[in-house]
């Protein structure tokens, strides 16, 4: 073999490994972009979850527990409480 053939063979291997390295680099960049999109989606969902938690806290704050002596409901099937304040209710 002459020197030019050996050089061409060596350059072929360099090109093969460079191509593999470039393909790997493209895959890493694509994965990074995909991962950034997933993180953005996750942060959006966490923001929505925080807003829903705030709405739930507002709704829970509006609930007032009944006191003894109040009528809870006059509808059939619902409990009506009629006790004197301070009275013990036995079951």
Residue 46 lies in a domain: yes
Residue 25 lies in a domain: yes
Q: For residue 58, what are the domain limits?
A: 1-64
Given a contact cutoff of 8 angstroms between Cβ atoms, the answer to whether 81 and 70 are in contact is yes
pLDDT > 90? residue 34: yes
Rg (CA), the chain: 36
Count of domains for the chain: 1
In this prediction the pTM is: 0.53
Query: Tokens standing for 75?
Result: 């509808």
Contacts of 80 (CB under 8 A, 6+ apart): 71, 72, 73, 74
In the structure, how many helices (H) and strands (E) does the chain have? 1, 0
Query: Tokens standing for 74?
Result: 């006059």
Residues 37-88 have pLDDT tens digits of 999 999 999 999 999 999 999 999 988 776 655 555 555 555 555 656 666 6
């Amino acid at each position: 073999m002459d020197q030019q053939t050996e050089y061409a063979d060596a350059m072929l291997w360099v090109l093969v490994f460079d191509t593999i390295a470039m393909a790997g680099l493209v895959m890493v960049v694509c994965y990074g972009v995909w991962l950034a999109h997933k993180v953005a989606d996750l942060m959006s969902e966490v923001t929505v979850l925080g807003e829903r938690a705030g709405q739930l806290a507002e709704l829970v704050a509006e609930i007032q527990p009944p006191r003894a002596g109040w009528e809870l409901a006059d509808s059939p099937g619902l409990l009506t409480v009629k006790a004197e304040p301070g009275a013990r209710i036995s079951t």
